[in-house]
Structure 1
Amino acid sequence: MTETRSRPFDLPPVWLAMAVAIAWVQAHRFSFGLSFGPIWADLLGGLLVGGGILLMALAIYEMRRQQTTFHPHHESARLVQSGIFSRTRNPIYLGDVMVLAGLILYWDAVLSLPLVPLFLWFLERRFVIPEENRLRRTFRMDFAKYCEKVRRWV
């Protein structure tokens, strides 16, 4: 497992924390009286946060079980295709997006909603595509077959 980049703070949780902080500040300082509504946003937000955390936990469990890394800048020892990875190729990143969307709903951070597609775009460009390129070079045909069976997101 070699490190392909030496940027200790260039990790998805750091970027998620920054996006969450922006949403929180917007909700608490610049809400302008906007709201998603009474209860449904809280419920959906909670479900998204819980579901996102569950996705991440299932992915980390499966990667540990397969004895490979979940660090986005390290080379994978194995191509994990079992467990949650049989449903989505990027469950941790999908979980990150779900957590952000859920917190935005829960906090009524209406003006922060555009952060969700921006964050998804950023994760894809900064982490997903480079990771998939490394997997493609390392696992060649196995990765190509995996991509045919399992979609990138859902």
Structure 2
Amino acid sequence: MTETRSRWFDLPPVWLVVALVLAWVQARYFSMGLSFGPVWADLLGGLLVGGGILLMALAIYEMRRQKTTIHPHHDSARLVQSGIFSRTRNPIYLGDVMVLAGLILYWDAVLALPLVPLFLWLLERRFVIPEENRLRRIFRMDFAKYCEKVRRWM
């Protein structure tokens, strides 16, 4: 029961929310007068958030179309290589990072910038590598060929 509960808590959106809360708190209460600038950060932040959400939506659509799971701790029924997965092996995780970076820019959370590489490292360690190891075990040569054709992050 506890392992199942911790598996449901240990999901990328939960970690994203934690990182976003930390960034928002930093921007709101500990800004120390730092700012990215007047307009460009808002524009770039909005583009990153919108692009991240689009990547996630395209990935979820493609995974649903192929009738496989989006849950990172479950075995995949199919190796999805079409749609956005023909460009990046991890569009949802990439979208998560883009949303975090975009909101850090939008909120002027200058001191929260180190959360971006830290969050990327966490995603790779806790989700990407174990997920790719499962795919490698299940799909063997197909996954090896896919890795040769498509980069992990873009």
Q: Same fold (TM over 0.5)?
A: yes
3-state DSSP of counterpart to 1:14: helix
- Greater than 4 Å deviation, 4+ residue runs: none
Matches within 5 A, 1:65-76: 65-76=65-76
Which residue identity lines up with residue 132 of structure 1 in the other structure?
Answer: E
In the alignment, does 2:48 pair up with 1:60?
Answer: no
Instruction: Tell me the equivalent position of 2:134.
Output: 134
Give the Cα separation in 1 of the matches to 2:137 and 2:73.
15
Superposed CA deviations along residues 71-91 of structure 1, whole A, max 9, x for unmatched, are 001100000000000000000
In structure 2, give the amino acid aligned to 1:88.
T
Distance in 1 (CA, whole Å) between partners of 2:18 and 2:49 is: 16
> Which is richer in helix?
2
1:110 alignment partner in structure 2: 110
TM-score of the pair, normalised by structure 1 = 0.96
> Alignment partner of 2:152: what SS?
coil
Identity of aligned residues (%): 87
Give a deviation string over 1:95-135, Cα, whole Å, max 9, x none.
00000000000000000000000000000000000000000
Q: CA RMSD for the aligned pairs?
A: 0.6
The code of the aligned residue for 2:116 comes to V
Q: 1:81 aligns to what SS in structure 2?
A: coil
Q: C-alpha displacement at 1:8, in angstroms?
A: 1.4
Structure-2 residue corresponding to 1:122 = 122
Shift of 1:59: 0.1
Letter in 1 for 2:70: F
* Structure 2 equivalent of residue 89 of structure 1: 89
For structure 2, list consecutive stretches of 5 or more residues without a partner in the other structure. Answer: none
Q: How many residues align?
A: 150
